[in-house]
Amino acid sequence: MEKVKAAVVGASGYSGEELVALLARHPRVEIVAVTSRQSAGETIAQVFPRIAGSAVAGLKFVEPSVGALEKSGAVSIFLALPHGLAAEFAGPLRKAGRQVIDLSADFRLKSADVFAEFYGEEHPAPDLLAEAVYALPEILQGDALKGAGLIACPGCYPTSILVPVIPLLRRGLIDPATIVINSQSGVSGAGRKADAALLFAECNESLRAYGAPKHRHLSEIEQELSAAAGCTVTVTFTPHLVPVTRGMISTIVATPLGGADAGLVESVWREAYHGRPFVRVVSHLPDSKHVTNTNFIDIAVREDKRTGRLILFSALDNLGKGAASQAVQAFNLSQGWDETLGLS
């Protein structure tokens, strides 16, 4: 079976490590390069002991450069880099004919002006925005990802929100003007970096909101909700940091329309996600421990008859369905493979 040669740029971060672990056991992928400035010269097994014994354990990290990636022979390149830096690689790699799967925020937005508003800087490669496919697999129609050359992987918070909400907006079952979202994320969502606010002593026994009222992910959340509703959607979104390593839950409140109740919401979800292996409509309130280290997203609904509102819930792994495993799922679909390949 012929394998696709792949590389992971920024492989020493949390999402990068997850990508390496997933791709190392993928039956149709051969990892030919991993990059990291701080780990250059070390082997994968030295940096990630949990991957020792795999076929790629002896592969050495190299300094990140477009030249090194081209020399490796990689044709599909995963970028697990901070926003802004990913675009520096994406442009030259696309010109060289390489497929780019970007886990950063650089190509999620369709408007360079919106990017500048939320990220506080000019977009580094606005000419590539039209080519990028916003790759939330369960929301895309048909073969939208097949053959895609530039894949923009959604953020973890947006994934936890868009999956439960978009089918309801498409059917006109909730009032888009009433959506209020509260989300909680594990500390790994901030990335592997030296930051006093993320130290164990600061995060342990601590619950706190941050990024309010205009978190960066709000831009792609509103972009995709507006597309689903067919009108401009503005929501209230408050993220929180919780003292767990990985995992994410979102609680979404909205006013129902058209007589929508919990039964109808579940029916619409089951219809929208029929045959989609990673969306689970559950009867219990979703719990992050049931999705950690998987590509699943669990969604549920409750009616608040006192207030006349619907409450939607979701849970996913911020490093899995919110990042690395979703990137592999999108990559699978871009190759025309079963989306579960390497993820079961």
pLDDT tens string for the chain (344 positions)? 799 999 999 998 889 999 999 999 999 999 999 999 889 999 999 999 989 888 899 999 999 999 999 999 999 999 999 888 999 999 999 999 999 999 999 999 999 999 999 999 999 999 999 999 999 999 998 899 999 999 999 999 999 999 999 999 999 999 999 999 999 999 887 776 667 777 788 878 889 999 999 999 999 999 999 999 999 999 999 999 999 989 999 999 999 999 999 999 999 999 999 999 999 999 999 999 999 999 999 999 999 999 999 999 999 999 999 999 999 999 999 999 999 999 98
Residue 153 appears among annotated catalytic residues = no
The pLDDT, as a whole number, for residue 194 is: 64
Residue 344 lies in a domain: no
343 close to 22: Cβ distance less than 8 angstroms: yes
Residue 39 lies in a domain: yes
Within 8 A by CB and 6+ apart from 323, the residues are: 14, 15, 18, 80, 103, 153, 156
Residue 202 lies in a domain: yes
Tokens coding 78? 């995963």
Q: Total domain count for the chain?
A: 2
Instruction: Mark whether 274 and 188 lie in a shared domain.
Output: yes
**Catalytic one of 153, 156, 203, 231:** 156
CATH classification at residue 224: 3.30.360.10
What is the C-alpha separation between 171 and 103, in angstroms, rounded? 30
The pLDDT, as a whole number, for residue 205 is: 82
Residue 340 lies in a domain: no
pTM of the model: 0.95
For 201, phi then psi, to 5°, come to: -65, -25
Instruction: Mark whether 60 and 181 lie in a shared domain.
Output: no
| Distances, alpha carbon 287 to alpha carbons 51, 68, 80, 97, 283, in Å | 28, 42, 27, 42, 12
Instruction: Mark whether 21 and 109 lie in a shared domain.
Output: yes
Instruction: Mark whether 18 and 110 lie in a shared domain.
Output: yes
Instruction: Mark whether 65 and 199 lie in a shared domain.
Output: no
Instruction: Mark whether 163 and 274 lie in a shared domain.
Output: yes
Residue 180 lies in a domain: yes
Instruction: Mark whether 231 and 311 lie in a shared domain.
Output: yes
Residue 29 lies in a domain: yes
CATH classification at residue 79: 3.40.50.720
Instruction: Mark whether 68 and 216 lie in a shared domain.
Output: no
Residue in 182, 143, 161, 145 with CA at minimum distance from that of residue 322? 161
* Strand residue runs (E) in the chain: 4-9, 29-35, 61-62, 76-79, 99-102, 133-134, 150-152, 180-185, 208-209, 236-241, 248-254, 279-281, 297-304, 309-316
15 close to 82: Cβ distance less than 8 angstroms: no
Instruction: Mark whether 149 and 234 lie in a shared domain.
Output: no
Instruction: Mark whether 196 and 214 lie in a shared domain.
Output: yes
What is the C-alpha separation between 54 and 46, in angstroms, rounded? 12
Residue 307 lies in a domain: yes
Region of residue 178 (left: phi > 0; alpha: psi -120 to 50; beta: else): alpha
The single-letter code of the amino acid at 113 is D
Sheet of 4-9, strand order: 61-62, 29-35, 4-9, 76-79, 99-102, 150-152, 133-134
Residue 342 lies in a domain: no
313 close to 302: Cβ distance less than 8 angstroms: yes
Within 8 A by CB and 6+ apart from 275, the residues are: none
Instruction: Mark whether 235 and 128 lie in a shared domain.
Output: no
What is the C-alpha separation between 207 and 327, in angstroms, rounded? 29
Neighbours of 239 (CB within 10 A): 23
Q: Give residue 48's domain range.
A: 4-153+323-334
Instruction: Mark whether 62 and 205 lie in a shared domain.
Output: no
